Amino acid sequence: MSLFSLVLAGCFHTELGSSVTGARVTVTDLRSGESIEDGLTSLTEAGFIATRSQDEFDELNDLAKLLYLGNFFVDGKAYDPENWYLITARGGADIDVDSNFVIDAKPASEVNGLWHALITGRQLRNGNFVISPITEALYQLLKTELDDLDNTQLRVRLNQLSAEILGDVNNDERVNYVDALKWTTIVHKPLYLRDFSQVEALAQAIRDGANQTTLSALAQDMFAEPAPDALQYYQQNISAPIVQTLCVRCHMPGGSAPNSGSALVLVTNNTANFQEKNHQNFQDFRDQLPASRDLSDWVTGKASGQISHGGGRQLAPGSQELENLETYLNLLE
């Protein structure tokens, strides 16, 4: 962690897998589109050796090399602290595609696309931020709103979105857009709170030079509400108010429903691990249904009396309980 802070102090870092060398970087005024700096290039191995030495480069391990390579500097004095700017990185070579902190065998993976970061002039002056798939995802989500958001609204939206997918990257006991700008796979991969394959998919699309429609869709996937765990949903919303209150009266072993031929058999709450067992019983029932019969439609139809049911109507159509049951059954399908 301290090495990372030392290396990036006063500069910026381009990454997709871990570090992208030779990326061409431009900074434009977000509102006017005016180019402030152009022709910046993220540090390559040759660039490091030219400014330091081959011996010094050879003394670094792969992790240290990844922390140095991919860096670029801006002229902080060129930026109004209160303005917003857009950093665009394009091209270069991703030298650690699989993010295992070992530099890939040459030739490195060519980057055919571009990625972005929204950033304030004050942040540009301070440096120590990362242009990554995380900042690209946030840009993709907000790019169509930028003209309608003032600076304060933009900051609020970025803070809100960052908190949806990230933990406390900079250890300041809050999560906001600064965490997104600080996030790097080299140090903070575990602080991405959702499926990391989503980040990898967006990074690969940038390497491939995918179109904006594809990039936008992948960014949306990163912020889509994750499906709840089916067992947890059952425990929280189905077991007590529906199964134990209504269903087990007839569907318990030896009850009227199994005696009448029903394949759905449920246990009462005096059975060890009754919730896990009933969750499994619903899955077993699903597997016994004919392929032409939809689990959710069939069970909710029975429970609501819309399909002939020996137990009659147990849940009113349109009720929250019936909606919860439908949600749970859809999670099983």
Residue 6: pLDDT above 90? no
The sign of the torsion formed by the CA atoms of 136, 140, 144, 145 equals negative
> What tokens appear for 276 in the block?
């896990």
The sign of the torsion formed by the CA atoms of 167, 170, 171, 172 equals negative
How far apart are alpha carbons 64 and 53 in whole angstroms? 15
Count CA within 13 A, CB hemisphere, residue 179: 24
Residue 56: pLDDT above 80? yes
- pLDDT classification of 1: cutoffs 50, 70, 90: very low
- Predicted pLDDT of residue 5: 44
Count CA within 13 A, CB hemisphere, residue 139: 23
Closest Cα partner for 94 from 206, 250, 222, 258? 206
The sign of the torsion formed by the CA atoms of 169, 171, 177, 182 equals negative
Q: What are 97-151's pLDDT values in tens digits?
A: 999 989 999 888 999 999 999 999 999 999 999 999 999 999 999 999 999 999 9
Can the peptide bond before residue 107 be classed as cis, meaning omega within 30 degrees of 0?
Answer: yes
Tell me the residue length of the chain.
Answer: 333
Give yes or no for a contact between 26 and 5, defined as CB atoms under 8 angstroms apart: no
